[in-house]
Structure formats: C-alpha cells, structure tokens
Structure 1
Amino acid sequence: MKRQSVTVIGAGVAGLCCALELSLRGVNVDVVERGHVLGDGSCSWQAGGMLAPWCERATTDAVVASMGAPSIGWWVRHFPGTVRKGSLVVAQPRDAADLARFAQRTERFEWADAERIAALEPDLAGRFRRALFFPDEAHLDPRRALAALVERLA
C-alpha cells in the first residue's frame, strides 16, 4: 500500500506541528517555506513562547484555554526544552483592582503574597504585594522549539 503524501505550506509553529503529527502517523510530509531555513521567517520565530492558556482566558474566548491546555503536554512530549514552572501575573498595589478583575476572568491560579512572589521570582522580591500564580502553565524558547521540530522532521 502506498503511503500518503502531504505538502505543508509554511514552517511556523502551526505548519511544523502539523507536519510532525502527520509524520508520526506515517504520512510522507514535505514542508515548503519561502525562506532558506525552515522556521526562521515565521511569526513564531519572534514569539514569546508562552504556553499560558489560563492567562489567555482573561482576554479571549474559553475555547483558547480548553484547546491550549493540552498543548502544554504536547510540547513537553516533543520538545525537552519546555519549562513547566508556571506563570506569575503581578501588579503594583495601585492596580489591585485590575488584578482582581483579571482573576475573575480566568481560572486555575493561586493567589501569591509578597513572600511567595519572592520565592518564585527572586528578582521581584519586595516589589509586589500580590500576584496570581498559574502553576500549570509553561514557556519555551520558540527558536529552539522550531529548530527541534525541523530536526525531528529531517
């Protein structure tokens, strides 16, 4: 039986993730990118690399969090450089009401006091009184992640 072949246009994070998933399912994949190096001309190359579906929930639809949450596990499985140390959302005391509104629009966080903030981020010691800590969130270096996906596809 002949294997299926698919051409993926674009070597940003979406294209490379699709290409990898197809490849893992036995599909022959060819990735086409206008640049000379896969991934380096994509928007993903300049991204922050935050895997923060619950923080994103504060400013977008619930579907972002529900679809984004499983992506953290995907990245952990496919890119060993994924860092699972959570996200910390801080605000100056004068912005306490904004932080409370942010908290109302999201979920899966823990309130952190000044001592906890200092333990999580020593460089912030003494600068903030309250914060939201999202322990299940993660981050990665997007350039290293894209390079790792390209390597897996080679």
Structure 2
Amino acid sequence: MTQSIAIAGAGLLGRLMAWKLLCRGHSVTLFDNGSRQGELSAARVAASMLAPYTEVASAERRVFDWGLQALDWWPGLVAELTEVTGRDIACARNGSVVVAHDLDKANLRHFQQQLQAVVPDQMARVESLNRARLAELEPELAARFNEGLYLPDEGYLDNTALLAALTEALTAGGVNWCEHTAVSEVAPGQVKLEGGWQAFDWAIDCRGLGAKDQLTGLRGVRGEVLWLHAPEVDLTRPVRLMHPRYKLYVSPRPGRRYVIGATEIESESMAPVTVRSNLELLSALYSLHSGFAEATVEHAFAHCRPAMPDNLPVVQGETGLLRINGLYRHGYLLSPHVVETALARFDEMNDLRRVSA
C-alpha cells in the first residue's frame, strides 16, 4: 500500500531512506534547509571510508559488526544508482594500509593491541607488512616506511559522486523536493514548517543537529577535511598515518584527488577550517609522501557530525514516526545498518497498525 512519507533532512540518511522508500512505491516528500545539492550536509565533509577495523580500535565491537554489513551493502546500492543515472561512482574494497614513522611505532603497536582487544577473532585478517610487502601494495610509501599493517577487508567510496547520483535518482523517481525549507518540529505523521503543520502517513526525522530540541543528548562533533589534487601522488587505497596526537587519513578519489582529515573536535562551531588544522594536516601529509608538496588544495571543509552520548546511532520509532540520528564520525560505515534497522522498524509498525485496524 502506497503511503505518504515526509522526510525532514536530506543528508546521507535522509536521501538513503528516501531512495529505499521510493523504490518500495511510496510517495516521498523531502524537506531540507539547503538545496538538493546538499551543500549544508555533513555527508559532504567526509572521507567516506569503509573501515570497520580502523574505526573499532576506538569504538565498540558493535561498530565493527555493523560496519562489516556496509562492505557488502554499498556495492549493491552503487550498482542500483549507476543503472538509474549512468553515473560512475568509485566504490573500492581493496583494503587499507596503516603506517607510522620510526619515532611513532609505539602508536602502531598500540593500534594492534586495540584491535586484538576488541576483535580477537578477526586478527587473522590483519597482515603485518615489511618494506617489500608494503612496496607491493603501495610502492610510493616504501621509501619512507619499512613496516605497517594491511587491512584487506576495508575500502572507500566517492561520497561526492554518490550524493550527486542520489540527487539525480530521487529527482527522476518523483521525490517531492522541498528545498530551503526548514522543519522546526517532527511528530507522528506531521512536520512543522514556517506556515504550520503538514500531515502525512509517516514522518521521518533525519535532521542531524537540527533535531537537538527533540532528541535528548544529541551534540555536534566538528570535523575538518581538505580536498587535494596531487598529480605526483599515486595511492590506490586509504592510508592511515599513526601519530601521538591524531590519526591522519588519506582517502583516494578518481583523477589523483585525495580527501585528507584527522581532526575530531568536541565543538559545534561551523567556522571555516582553522590555520592550526591546515598546518597540522599538511605537515603530516608531507611526511607521508613528499609528492603532496606540489598538490593544490581544492577545498577546505568543516562541519559538525551529530552524535549521541555513547557515540552510537539511534533509531527511535512509534506509529507514524521515526527518528534516525547520531552517525557520529561513522556516517558511511554505519548508515547501511541504520537504514536497514529503520526500514525494519517501519515495516514492524505498519504490520501492527494493520493488525489493530
């Protein structure tokens, strides 16, 4: 049965829910403060790495298990969107590499110990690298590093291409886009706009930090990333550089472009990237590969990721209403689990509604 569904917030979760529900034949209206280009979304400011091993070192085992689902889920969704839009969306699962300079090797050992503590049953999948093996995987790193770790199950996707494809697919599929439209409150079967309440069969709240007034404990965690074009660098998979104060990550994109990040700041500031962050990111990046010295900085983005007190996502539901939030820094890794959980809750409450009727 076709139902009318309002989704407040057109970030990653809002778009994914809209696509899934549209494919089920429902009528979907998507409200967002910004435009359909997603310029206000935290989903744009991400390396979009699919890295359950490197993330679980500082998280719970559930993050790892949920993240494993993403490794198989994303290629299927990318194939759907490519078929609909014809867009090429880079989505690779060729592993990631973790390295450390000689003075920081204790941090690499500590990372291994963290993995051993949280996912001891998966350590057979973690390969220790010597210089020769590192040269096979990422030849341009072997000149500066003589050991590291290879996590073969990890990967990444191109979030810019993905968001553009979702925009195109949703538009072609008939989603009713309400751009530059603020939703101030979400209730069962209703969303409140400037002109008052609008009624639907279902309302789904995916507003991120916009839902702070209705979701207790929600906070923002600032992240900063740089987009670089580096013609003299050829890295084929995500790389993590261990450091005493931060973990620099480098995620490749087509055309020798790279997303660089490391910062995680307990702040809800939406100010531009700071000089300090720029200096730290770029100096660490140069220490990873000297070819980055000739790179051009194409973008410097900062945004706040919504997080709950335990840094785990939340799916809350009642008849006519779903609240989905709190992806923290694991947006692309955990969104498949969150979306499938939300859809299951949606189906469960629809079944209950039919029985009670």
User: Do Structure 1 and Structure 2 share a fold, with TM-score over 0.5?
Assistant: yes
| Higher helix content, 1 or 2 | 1
| Amino acid in the other structure paired with 1:43 | A
Corresponding residue number in structure 2 for 1:103: 112
Corresponding residue number in structure 2 for 1:147: 164
Corresponding residue number in structure 2 for 1:89: 98
Report whether the alignment pairs 1:136 with 2:153.
Answer: yes
Kindly provide the CA deviation profile for residues 58-91 of structure 1, in whole angstroms up to 9, marking residues without a partner as x.
Answer: 0111111111111122211112421111111111
Is the 8 Å Cα contact of residues 36 and 167 (structure 2) preserved in structure 1?
Answer: no
Deviates more, 1:121-130 or 1:16-25: 16-25
Identity of aligned residues (%): 39
How far apart, CA to CA, are the structure 1 residues paired with 2:126 and 2:11? 30
TM-score by structure 2 length?
Answer: 0.41
Corresponding residue number in structure 1 for 2:9: 10
- Tell me by how many angstroms 1:22 deviates: 2.0
Deviates more, 1:26-35 or 1:47-56: 26-35
Task: Say if 1:109 and 1:31 are closer, same or farther in 2 by CA, change over 3 A.
Answer: farther
Greater RCO between the two (CA within 8 Å, min separation 6)?
A: 1
Deviates more, 1:60-69 or 1:33-42: 33-42
Is the 8 Å Cα contact of residues 85 and 135 (structure 1) preserved in structure 2?
Answer: yes
Measured on the aligned residues, the alpha-carbon RMSD in Å equals: 1.6
Kindly provide the CA deviation profile for residues 78-113 of structure 1, in whole angstroms up to 9, marking residues without a partner as x.
Answer: 124211111111111222221111112224421111
Corresponding residue number in structure 2 for 1:41: 40
Is the 8 Å Cα contact of residues 11 and 38 (structure 1) preserved in structure 2?
Answer: no
- Tell me by how many angstroms 1:21 deviates: 2.1
| Higher strand content, 1 or 2 | 2
How far apart, CA to CA, are the structure 2 residues paired with 1:138 and 1:35? 30
How far apart, CA to CA, are the structure 2 residues paired with 1:95 and 1:120? 21
Residue 140 (structure 2) aligned to one of 120, 123, 126? 123
Is the 8 Å Cα contact of residues 10 and 32 (structure 1) preserved in structure 2?
Answer: yes
TM-score by structure 1 length?
Answer: 0.89
Task: Tell which structure's C-alpha radius of gyration is larger.
Answer: 2
How far apart, CA to CA, are the structure 2 residues paired with 1:40 and 1:78? 22
Task: Give the SS at the match of 1:105.
Answer: helix
Task: Give the SS at the match of 2:148.
Answer: strand
How far apart, CA to CA, are the structure 1 residues paired with 2:8 and 2:42? 14
Report whether the alignment pairs 1:62 with 2:71.
Answer: no
